Structure 1
């Protein structure tokens, strides 16, 4: 009777309802920005709102901002290109992410259903990561909003439209348009970052799975599931990352050309939006590139974790032939216990993205057959590291460093063609 009375309590766990509330709130937040396009009506309304707020409204502000004596600022020439760049990267974010949410839903798009709600630890970590999504988005948006507001105030002071009420309306309209387009862009980048962080939870948990006294086939199956999920997230987001990267790169070089080729006065009034746009786009690029690189290095690090697990289990085995322990005149020099092996890692290594701790509760196995199966498992993991790829190109530190130096070379090339120093 006592056991039957406790069954209803186990059917509705509290962490599940809390996670469901977090996902529902996230879905509603994305729906307010237009990412939830589950029907033709909602898709039409979303893109109509995007056209009005991200395209028509800023172009109207530019049109009504014309005034006598403002030619020296060249505001119209700069701001049209800034509006186009801002709208394009936001449209890519809205198009790609709304397609994923419409096709898979918010739970499957974020790989929340992977553990099927059976592990309370995952649910708690999921909630922490989702709340971190709001904190990260609010932090970066708040910083960029302050910069944008400061630039608009400077423009309001230096450019007189003849009417304070018209200047105030243009000021508010410009902030509303910029806030919407920036939120759409940064939300898309932060959502991909969230999906990567949720998947990384399972990569970090893989070391704990190795603690259990399970068959090697279970470890292989779990590794295959992890690499399969990583392959799916690469397939779903590769177009988004590629298009955003290309358009952000083109936008940055366009801004560099416009400011260096210009023969007039460059100040915060006419070119301040170039700085704000560059900061917003670079923040978005850092968000999705860091998440992609972190997933790749988590996947690569599984090889070292598996080999370390194999070495520790073998050294703690009592079987001489299976563990490889040498017999020296009847005295066996065994390996130290699992928990006493020194890590030999610096503080910076402990904080790196590819470090995963391996706990000490490992069960020794004493058979040559088990040793061979563990060895085959290690070879399999090291041969199938995987990683986040974009059409075959793995996004890792090497690729990011290559991109950085290519961009740096192009920047110096543009500066060499546009900036000249006259020596008398």
Structure 2
């Protein structure tokens, strides 16, 4: 190897314009205008690279040699010192790399995949409520399984589903941090799961009403109010609360309501809309609701926006009922199984469930609209008391 430390401090100050080697790839470049700087020449993966180490006025000879040795050591390990320095500069320029900041950055990056850009807060709330108050100020590179375990232990069994979501979000945040070039333990969430053990929580289904009792309940929704009309249409269509509450008049064409794909659960990142056949009773409910229309929305709130998710639930609570609006989807699905000969694919599509593998759906692109139209008309007849006890048969 070429000799090192060829220059002396006196020579560095005295030499005129030109390029002078100190050995080991370290050069001093002196310009005609009196300026001077240090340059390190290295070869990385067969490529000749030059990196500036600073001006002579700022970096004395001793410091330039120390820097040169640091970067040469990195080259010996097979790393590119220029890329590493850029990474360090980017990291230094970032806000403090706490879990709070990295989690917010990860959330921003994922908003396009979430319904309504995540404005409902459901993606971020498990972190915001149960993780960040305890761990938010910890640098993400220092986060370990014990920290995560201690944060989630209070809800691990009592709120198992929330804890599971929080752990899932943490895994995403850690991967995001790694993508930013931070040295994080990607296995920390899995290690924390091992420390916490299996949850004792038993998931409970949302209480639903036997389909035979739905007509009697439907008959009690006789007031021409937004809440009564919305609950009636929810029962008649089998839709989830969100698309039902956000229904717009311009989405209805004849007896078909086209629900925007972004409103449907389980259809993240996709643009497919979903067609809902409207029975005669459903169309009548929509007519009764039109006088309440505001801003294009059929079921507006008394203040602003649309009717809240809890409005229909509170109606059933006030009546002392254990069932909840979402349970009518189970009532409908049980009726389809017990009182019709609807094929599995058709019955599942009624509830907007995705059926089959991605490959199967590529070739089978029907949404069974005509078959569903027959079923939903008969469901409406049952609900209104017209078709009790009748078995629905679909034409083959």
* Length-normalised TM-score, structure 1: 0.20
The structure in which a higher percent of residues are strand is 2
Higher relative contact order (CA 8 A, sep 6+): 1
Return the index of the structure with the highest Cα Rg: 2
The structure in which a higher percent of residues are helix is 1
* Length-normalised TM-score, structure 2: 0.21
